[in-house]
């Protein structure tokens, strides 16, 4: 784009905004990210409130005489092999899938970010040790790592979250370390050191806040892949406890009926896809908004 | 939508494919018209993994498909006529009437796949090394009397041991091959099919080629691949798509759809497999708590279970015993069938608030489905069931007799024809004893049953045993399953049995 | 060059030692051992003997030490479950795994590079947005779901392709390759798009256009070639990842791949097989990485001279683009 009068004035306007205002402004212009964001808001609203307006009985109560009914006005997504309404189950399942996505990422965040920060900040032997261990963990394919963790801990919702979380720790360590490397020699860090602040203080107060953007992007995208990973684990038979209608578990149950009742796989799969797409769109939008160099 | 359904139904009537329903427990060899040429190579879909080629190391139904084709046993038990006949043995008889010694004369024209002739030494070697408790519980040693003559000596009387000799866990392997290669030597047998090691993908595909030097009748097919397709729906897709000629265990829910396919024959039959619910009777809340066990028994509606798994040919079970066994008994005075009111009463007597952990092996979707149904049924009478999902290793490890940790579990058993086989599920120390049962009278009755020659007395012992297990609810028998074999029309030669260890050795598909 | 390869091999050693220790310890913590699987029917005496023979009567570190000792001698051990050397198990499944990895990366290349170029050329337009969403869609679909849908459509209804196994050559390969390939698309499309954007605005392209080279030729001859390095990096990473096996897709298509072997081995607590497979895939990934590095030199002759100082070269190429994991 040729620089002209208009862009220059827009650029001036930009300067008045705070860093976050700036990001928000750019994000708002990204249609994909906004669609993703709105979708997620709706999903969150449903997941957080569903317990108040939906009778549990509808979700877990079985009616074996009405099993495997095709989608109709009464049952929008049909009924499953136990005669439960699939629409309500999918809707209720949003709770589990979102929770798994977030908690799993929280697990890897809480472990990965400090490790990455320490590695990037101190360098030297500390860095070597942390990064070599990270290498070892990432040499094991993520899904396999998750399966091993579930085998060790046994399968439950919490353990599934931990398993998915553990397998994405290396990603957080790498991203954080790379981000920290770019700021650790900045003047304000040097200044803080000169003032005799403790290393821990510097890392948390000066370094990390200045490398938030890649970490936020990483977090958003990881939530997306955590949801997919969790459903893959369910698919491999290591999911969460019944009768919880987690989407991967719904899909897996439906897999046994693909010949005649493919809607049992179709709808939960669609739910996963839309949710994950929303996270990915938002994540990509955030990346573009936070790092304009990439977008161009 | 209704239109759709009626259209499907109409179509079904028009082109109803060959669907066969076997009445009662039967075994059939599928007959086909003679053809000029047969397909040289065919693929068969397996439902579960075959991990080991060696019959001495593992015994379960999926391995029997392979063992039936590659190995021979001393005796052959025809479960349709209930008669034993010689296979590798030319003659066989009890040496005396204490049921501790069997005298056997071998055929002298049998050669192993590696070219070595079969001798009495191979029999001794095979029986010495087999790991199955079916054999090791009774077997002591072999006295080799000549190259083709031997005595099998037992530790204690076992009236059923000849059946054991017809079982795949006493299949005969080559001693010389084992000496040459201890790891893989156990894969050399005398059967009509030879394992093609060059095309073997462990745990996925077993390639077989015809044994042209077989002592018996030669198969018409030259090559067979046994391929693992573990998901039932995927298996049916592969069959419909003509990727395989035969599969077992059509997903019951998809049976109707399979029957609509004109190119397929669906053979349905009741089986000798039983699903059961086992309490841990040694530790945990169910041990020494008859009321809890009975409350769960009253809470379970057996019909709902197979309605949910879709197994329409299932038969509800009342006695924890094989319904095909000689001494089966089910005329109990105590009625433990579905009765939620009684269950609620018992729960109230227990002070309400009853919780039980149920361990479920997720390798089979049936367990998963049944556990959810039981969970829901128990919820209605006030028993909270917490489902603990584990994989196969976890299930086996947590339910080992010596260190069982489960409170209750869902499982199944393929029962052999002879009554003493129930010993696996009831005897102290057996890892198949998922109820972790250690009951003196049960142990006593088992010992009496297997060694008593008087049939009337044996019947009395086994009856008492069944009443004991039933009234005490150590186990809750759920139902006897039905199963299916589906194959491309015109396929013939396979022996389909209620014991589910079908023999595909002589499978043939006409070339057209 | 030789020195560089040697250094690479040297770097592998700590990873192999660490990974195998990790797997040994974790599988030791899991309930049950391989003995429970193979010895369900064994008598107590036989079991005791086997326990001793396999070292399960001693600590995990003893078994690990024994394993490493064999490994140093080039022996990956014998699987307890299959009673077959792990090397043979791996080799039995390698051809199918290689085929599938290659084909899926090919699918991803065939879809992503044109899409990425298109997005870059129509930068900021609807086409750009749609292409990027399309690429993200592949990443957002659970792999097995797409696989099942493809089976329903192409095997069940149309009967074009087989639904299971690796028995009919290319025909067997198509559906699983599409399933994995679309999952890989997002990263590759994005990388192609951004590196094309970089190049399209560079001076030498402006020069080429000014010289009157037609737009198509500009893209093909000049832009793409210069944008290749990050693209190759991504392709290399993805190839390495898929070589470790794509458990879920292999599961859907009953594909005789390494992923399924490894997962089954985990479920059966067959520590030796799990470790062996992971060590082999670490080595394979490293080989792919080496090939990628050599490919750089072909694409960019400037790099060829720098093989003696590998570290400098890496700094110059910069960070490898982030590759997202999904549930393959």
DSSP string, B12-34: HHHT--EEEE--SS-EEEPP---
**DSSP SS3 for C220:** helix
pLDDT at B194: 96
pLDDT at A9: 52
Could you tell me the pLDDT band of residue B294, with boundaries at 50, 70 and 90?
very high
Q: Is A20 within a domain? A: no
In chain B, the residue whose alpha carbon lies closest to the alpha carbon of C164 is: B238
Q: Is C49 within a domain? A: yes
Looking up residue A101, the CATH number of its domain turns out to be 1.10.3720.10
Give the whole-number percent of chain A exceeding pLDDT 70.
Answer: 90
Residues in chain B, overall count: 512
Average pLDDT over residues B431-457: 91
More confident residue, C98 or A84: C98
pLDDT at A104: 92
Q: Are residues B256 and B275 in the same domain?
A: no
Could you tell me the pLDDT band of residue C273, with boundaries at 50, 70 and 90?
very high
Lowest mean pLDDT among A6-15, A147-156, B381-390, B419-428: A6-15
CB-closest option in A152, A284, A296 to C29: A152
Contacting partners of chain A (3+ CB pairs under 8 A): B, C
Q: Which residues contact A265 (CB under 8 A, 6 or more apart)?
A: A251, A254, A255, A257, A258, C145, C148, C149
**B484, pLDDT greater than 90:** yes
Q: Of the residues B145, B170, B187, which one is the last residue of a structural domain? A: B187
Q: Write the pLDDT tens digit of every residue in C130-182.
A: 888 888 888 888 888 899 889 988 988 888 999 988 888 889 999 999 999 98
Could you tell me the pLDDT band of residue B17, with boundaries at 50, 70 and 90?
low
Distances (CA, A) of B306 to A64, A259, B316, B338, B371: 10, 20, 9, 14, 12
Contact criterion met (CB below 8 Å) for A295 and A56? no
ipTM of the modeled complex: 0.81
pLDDT at B215: 92
Per the listing, tokens 């579930």 go with: A150
Average pLDDT over residues A92-109: 90
pLDDT at A242: 64
User: How far is the C-alpha of B500 from the C-alpha of B22, rounded, in Å?
Assistant: 13
Distances (CA, A) of A226 to A96, A275, B508: 12, 11, 49
* Nearest-CA distance C227 → chain A (Å): 15
Contact criterion met (CB below 8 Å) for C301 and C284? no
**Owning domain of residue C262:** 92-303
Q: Are residues B256 and B302 in the same domain?
A: no
| Diameter of chain C measured on Cα atoms | 86
**Owning domain of residue B114:** 72-187
Q: Are residues C211 and C137 in the same domain?
A: yes
**C294, pLDDT greater than 90:** no
CB-closest option in A151, A274, A276 to C30: A151
Contact criterion met (CB below 8 Å) for B387 and B371? yes
The mean predicted confidence, pLDDT, of chain B is 90
Q: Is B229 in CB contact (< 8 Å) with chain C?
A: yes
- Residue C32's region, left for phi above 0, alpha for psi from -120 to 50, else beta, is left
Q: Write the pLDDT tens digit of every residue in B337-369.
A: 999 999 999 999 998 888 999 999 877 788 988
Contact criterion met (CB below 8 Å) for B264 and B258? yes
pLDDT at C201: 74
Q: Is C22 within a domain? A: yes
Contacts of A262 in chain C (CB under 8 A): 148, 152
Lowest mean pLDDT among A139-148, B163-172, B415-424: A139-148
Q: Is B67 within a domain? A: no
Sort strands B27-29 and B495-497 into parallel, antiparallel or unpaired: antiparallel
Q: Write the pLDDT tens digit of every residue in B144-190.
A: 999 999 999 999 889 899 999 999 989 999 999 999 988 888 899 99
Q: Are residues B256 and B181 in the same domain?
A: no
Of B203, B208, B224, the closest CA to residue B49 belongs to B203
Could you tell me the pLDDT band of residue C301, with boundaries at 50, 70 and 90?
low
CB-closest option in B59, B241, B390 to C159: B241
**B4, pLDDT greater than 70:** no
Number of domains in chain C: 2
Residue C327 backbone phi and psi in degrees, to 5: -75, 30
DSSP B219: P
Q: Is B472 in CB contact (< 8 Å) with chain A?
A: no
Looking up residue B129, the CATH number of its domain turns out to be 3.90.76.10
Q: Of the residues B187, B215, B247, which one is the last residue of a structural domain? A: B187
β-bridge mates for residue B510, sequence order: B38
User: How far is the C-alpha of A10 from the C-alpha of A178, rounded, in Å?
Assistant: 32
More confident residue, C191 or B214: B214
Q: Are residues C143 and C15 in the same domain?
A: no
pLDDT at B3: 54
pLDDT at B495: 93
pLDDT at A16: 58
Q: Are residues C29 and C98 in the same domain?
A: no
Q: Is C48 in CB contact (< 8 Å) with chain B?
A: no
Q: Is C115 within a domain? A: yes
User: How far is the C-alpha of B196 from the C-alpha of B207, rounded, in Å?
Assistant: 5
The mean predicted confidence, pLDDT, of chain A is 82
Q: Of the residues B187, B203, B232, which one is the last residue of a structural domain? A: B187
**C256, pLDDT greater than 50:** yes
Q: Are residues C184 and C238 in the same domain?
A: yes
pLDDT at B84: 93
Q: Is B8 within a domain? A: no
Q: Is B6 within a domain? A: no
More confident residue, C198 or A99: A99
Q: Are residues C67 and C107 in the same domain?
A: no
Q: Which two tokens stand for residue B450?
A: 């297997």
Q: Write the pLDDT tens digit of every residue in B111-129.
A: 999 999 999 999 999 999 8
**B487, pLDDT greater than 70:** yes
User: How far is the C-alpha of B238 from the C-alpha of C282, rounded, in Å?
Assistant: 34
Lowest mean pLDDT among A114-123, A278-287, C1-10: C1-10
**B280, pLDDT greater than 90:** yes
Q: Which of residues 304-323 of B touch C (CB under 8 A)?
A: none
Average pLDDT over residues B438-457: 91
Q: Which two tokens stand for residue C328?
A: 């393959």
Residue B154 backbone phi and psi in degrees, to 5: -105, 155
Give the whole-number percent of chain A exceeding pLDDT 90.
Answer: 13
Contact call for B369 and A238, based on CB within 8 A: no
**Owning domain of residue A281:** 47-294
Looking up residue B408, the CATH number of its domain turns out to be 3.10.105.10
Contact criterion met (CB below 8 Å) for A95 and A74? no
Q: Write the pLDDT tens digit of every residue in A202-234.
A: 888 888 888 888 888 888 888 988 988 888 888
Q: Is C135 within a domain? A: yes
Q: Are residues B126 and B79 in the same domain?
A: yes
Q: Are residues C197 and C274 in the same domain?
A: yes
DSSP B59: -
Q: Is A34 within a domain? A: no
More confident residue, B481 or A140: B481
Q: Write the pLDDT tens digit of every residue in C210-224.
A: 777 777 777 777 777
DSSP A199: H
Query: How would you class A82 by CB atoms within 10 Å of its CB: exposed for 0-12, middle for 13-18, buried for 19 or more?
Result: buried
Average pLDDT over residues C15-43: 82
Q: Is C210 within a domain? A: yes
Q: Are residues C208 and C298 in the same domain?
A: yes
Q: Are residues C245 and C99 in the same domain?
A: yes
**B7, pLDDT greater than 60:** no
CB-closest option in A61, A238, A242 to B371: A242
Q: Are residues B102 and B238 in the same domain?
A: no
Work out whether the CA dihedral B291, B293, B297, B299 comes out positive or negative.
positive
Please enumerate, as own/partner, the contacts of A61-68 that have beta carbons within 8 Å and a separation of 24 or more: A61/B376, A62/B308, A62/B372, A62/B373, A62/B376, A64/B304, A64/B307, A64/B308, A64/B373, A67/B307, A67/B308, A68/A257, A68/A260, A68/A261, A68/A264, A68/B253
Q: Is C193 in CB contact (< 8 Å) with chain B?
A: no
Q: Is A263 within a domain? A: yes
User: How far is the C-alpha of A59 from the C-alpha of A246, rounded, in Å?
Assistant: 11
CA angle (A217 as vertex; A213, A223 as ends), nearest 5: 145
Per-residue burial over B76-87, b if 16 or more Cβ lie within 10 Å, else e, is: ebebeeeebebb
Cis peptide bond prior to B308, omega within 30° of 0? no
Average pLDDT over residues A129-139: 88
Q: Is B11 within a domain? A: no
Looking up residue B33, the CATH number of its domain turns out to be 3.40.190.10
Contact criterion met (CB below 8 Å) for B41 and B225? yes
pLDDT at B15: 47
Number of domains in chain A: 1
pLDDT at C136: 86
Contact call for A229 and C245, based on CB within 8 A: no
**B284, pLDDT greater than 70:** yes
pTM of the model: 0.84
Average pLDDT over residues B415-438: 90
Could you tell me the pLDDT band of residue C308, with boundaries at 50, 70 and 90?
very low
Q: Are residues C138 and C55 in the same domain?
A: no
Q: Is B222 in CB contact (< 8 Å) with chain A?
A: no
Sort strands B315-316 and B495-497 into parallel, antiparallel or unpaired: unpaired
Contact criterion met (CB below 8 Å) for A47 and A94? yes
In chain B, the residue whose alpha carbon lies closest to the alpha carbon of A70 is: B1
* Nearest-CA distance C201 → chain B (Å): 50
Average pLDDT over residues C83-104: 92
Q: Are residues B305 and B449 in the same domain?
A: yes
Contact criterion met (CB below 8 Å) for B276 and B512? no
Q: Are residues C66 and C101 in the same domain?
A: no
Per the listing, tokens 């049953």 go with: B449
Q: Is C218 in CB contact (< 8 Å) with chain A?
A: no
Q: Write the pLDDT tens digit of every residue in C214-250.
A: 777 777 777 777 778 888 888 888 888 888 778 889 9
Contact call for A256 and B394, based on CB within 8 A: no
**C324, pLDDT greater than 80:** no
User: How far is the C-alpha of B345 from the C-alpha of C95, rounded, in Å?
Assistant: 63
pLDDT at B167: 93
Identify the helix (H) or strand (E) that includes residue B278. strand B264-279
Number of domains in chain B: 3
Per-residue burial over B329-354, b if 16 or more Cβ lie within 10 Å, else e, is: beeeeeebebbbebbbebbeebeeeb
């Amino acid at each position: 784009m040729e620089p002209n009068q208009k862009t220059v004035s827009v650029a001036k306007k930009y300067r008045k905004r705070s860093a976050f205002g700036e990001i928000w402004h750019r994000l708002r212009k990204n249609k994909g990210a906004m669609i993703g964001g709105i979708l997620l808001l709706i999903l969150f609203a449903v997941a957080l409130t569903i317990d108040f307006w939906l009778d549990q009985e509808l979700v877990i109560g079985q009616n074996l005489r009405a099993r495997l009914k095709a989608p109709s006005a009464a049952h929008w997504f049909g009924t499953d092999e136990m005669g439960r309404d699939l629409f309500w189950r999918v809707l209720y399942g949003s709770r589990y899938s979102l929770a798994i996505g977030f908690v799993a990422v929280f697990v890897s965040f809480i472990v990965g970010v400090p490790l990455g920060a320490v590695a990037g900040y101190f360098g030297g032997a500390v860095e070597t040790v942390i990064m070599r261990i990270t290498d070892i963990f990432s040499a094991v394919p993520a899904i396999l790592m998750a399966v091993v963790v579930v085998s060790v801990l046994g399968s439950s919702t919490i353990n599934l979250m931990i398993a998915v979380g553990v397998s994405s720790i290396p990603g957080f360590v790498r991203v954080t370390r790379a981000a920290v490397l770019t700021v650790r020699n900045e003047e304000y860090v040097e200044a803080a050191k000169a003032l005799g602040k403790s290393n821990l203080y510097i890392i948390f107060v000066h370094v990390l806040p200045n490398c938030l953007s890649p970490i936020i992007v990483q977090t958003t995208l990881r939530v997306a892949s955590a949801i997919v990973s969790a459903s893959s684990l369910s698919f491999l038979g290591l999911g969460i406890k019944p009768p919880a209608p987690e989407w991967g578990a719904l899909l897996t149950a439906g897999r046994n009926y693909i010949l005649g009742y493919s809607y049992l796989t179709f709808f939960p799969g669609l739910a996963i896809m839309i949710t994950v797409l929303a996270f990915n769109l938002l994540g990509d939008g955030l990346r573009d908004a936070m790092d304009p160099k990439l977008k161009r | 939508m209704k239109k759709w359904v009626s259209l499907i139904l109409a179509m079904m009537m028009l082109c109803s494919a060959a669907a066969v329903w076997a009445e009662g427990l039967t075994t059939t060899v599928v007959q086909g018209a003679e053809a000029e040429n047969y397909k040289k190579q065919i693929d068969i879909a397996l439902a579960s993994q075959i991990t080991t080629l060696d019959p001495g190391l593992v015994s379960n139904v999926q391995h029997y498909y392979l063992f039936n084709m590659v190995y021979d046993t001393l005796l052959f038990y025809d479960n349709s006529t209930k008669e034993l006949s010689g296979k590798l043995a030319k003659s066989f008889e009890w040496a005396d009437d204490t049921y501790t010694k069997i005298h056997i004369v071998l055929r002298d024209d049998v050669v192993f796949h590696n070219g070595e002739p079969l001798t009495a030494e191979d029999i001794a070697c095979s029986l010495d090394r087999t790991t199955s408790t079916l054999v090791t519980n009774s077997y002591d040693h072999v006295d080799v009397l000549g190259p083709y003559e031997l005595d099998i000596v037992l530790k204690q009387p076992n009236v059923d041991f000849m059946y054991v000799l017809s079982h795949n866990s006493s299949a005969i392997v080559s001693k010389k091959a084992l000496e040459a290669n201890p790891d893989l030597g156990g894969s050399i047998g005398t059967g009509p099919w030879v394992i093609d090691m060059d095309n073997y993908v462990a745990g996925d595909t077993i390639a077989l080629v015809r044994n042209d030097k077989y002592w018996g009748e030669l198969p018409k097919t030259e090559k067979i691949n046994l391929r693992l397709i573990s998901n039932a729906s995927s298996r049916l897709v592969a069959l419909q798509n003509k990727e395989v000629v035969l599969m077992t265990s059509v997903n019951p829910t998809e049976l109707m759809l399979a029957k609509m396919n004109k190119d397929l024959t669906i053979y349905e039959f009741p089986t000798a497999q039983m699903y059961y619910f086992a309490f841990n009777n040694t530790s945990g809340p169910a041990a020494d708590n008859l009321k809890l066990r009975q409350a769960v028994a009253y809470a379970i509606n057996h019909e709902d279970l197979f309605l949910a798994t879709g197994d329409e040919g299932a038969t509800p079970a009342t006695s924890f015993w094989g319904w095909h066994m000689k001494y089966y008994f089910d005329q109990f005075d105590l009625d433990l069938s579905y009765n939620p009111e009684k269950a609620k009463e018992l729960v109230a007597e227990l002070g309400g608030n009853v919780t039980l952990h149920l361990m479920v092996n997720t390798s089979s979707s049936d367990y998963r489905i049944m556990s959810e149904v039981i969970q829901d049924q128990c919820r209605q009478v006030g028993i909270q069931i917490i489902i603990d999902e584990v994989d196969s290793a976890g299930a086996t490890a947590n339910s080992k007799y010596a260190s069982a940790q489960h409170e209750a579990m869902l499982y199944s058993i393929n029962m052999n024809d002879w009554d003493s086989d129930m010993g696996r599920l009831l005897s102290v120390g057996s890892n198949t004893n998922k109820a972790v049962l250690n009951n003196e009278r049960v142990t006593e009755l088992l010992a009496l049953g297997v060694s008593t020659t008087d049939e009337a007395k044996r019947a009395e012992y086994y009856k008492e045993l069944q009443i004991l297990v039933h009234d005490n609810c150590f186990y809750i028998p759920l139902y006897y399953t039905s199963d299916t074999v589906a194959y491309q029309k015109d396929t013939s030669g396979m022996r389909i049995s209620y014991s589910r260890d079908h023999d595909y050795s002589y499978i043939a598909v006409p070339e057209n | 060059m030789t020195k560089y390869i040697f250094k690479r091999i040297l770097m592998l050693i700590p990873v192999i030692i660490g990974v195998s220790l990790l797997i040994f310890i974790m599988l030791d913590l899991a309930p049950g051992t391989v003995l429970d699987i193979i010895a369900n029917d064994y008598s107590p005496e036989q079991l005791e003997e086997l326990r001793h023979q396999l070292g399960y009567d001693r600590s995990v570190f003893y078994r690990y030490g024994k394993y490493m000792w064999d490994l140093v001698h080039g022996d990956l051990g014998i699987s307890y479950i299959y009673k077959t050397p792990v090397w043979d198990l791996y080799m039995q499944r390698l051809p199918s795994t290689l085929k599938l990895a290659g084909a899926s990366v090919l699918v991803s290349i065939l879809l992503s590079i044109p899409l990425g170029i298109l997005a870059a050329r129509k930068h900021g337009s609807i086409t750009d947005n749609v292409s990027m969403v399309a690429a993200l869609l592949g990443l957002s679909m659970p792999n097995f779901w797409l696989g099942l849908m493809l089976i329903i459509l192409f095997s069940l209804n149309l009967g074009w392709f087989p639904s299971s196994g690796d028995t009919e050559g290319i025909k067997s390969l198509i559906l699983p390759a599409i399933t994995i390939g679309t999952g890989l698309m997002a990263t590759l499309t994005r990388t192609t798009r951004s590196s094309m954007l970089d190049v399209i605005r560079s001076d030498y392209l402006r020069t080429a256009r000014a010289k009157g080279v037609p737009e198509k030729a500009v893209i093909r001859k000049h832009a793409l070639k210069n944008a290749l390095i990050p693209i190759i990096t991504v392709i290399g990473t993805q190839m390495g990842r898929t070589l470790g096996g794509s458990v879920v897709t292999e599961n859907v298509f009953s594909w005789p791949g390494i992923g399924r072997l490894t997962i089954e081995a985990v479920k059966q607590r067959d520590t030796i097989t799990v470790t062996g497979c992971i060590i082999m895939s670490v080595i394979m990934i490293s080989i792919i990485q080496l090939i990628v590095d050599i490919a750089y030199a072909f694409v960019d002759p400037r790099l060829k001279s720098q093989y003696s100082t590998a570290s400098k070269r890496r700094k110059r190429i910069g960070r490898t683009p982030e590759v997202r994991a999904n549930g393959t």
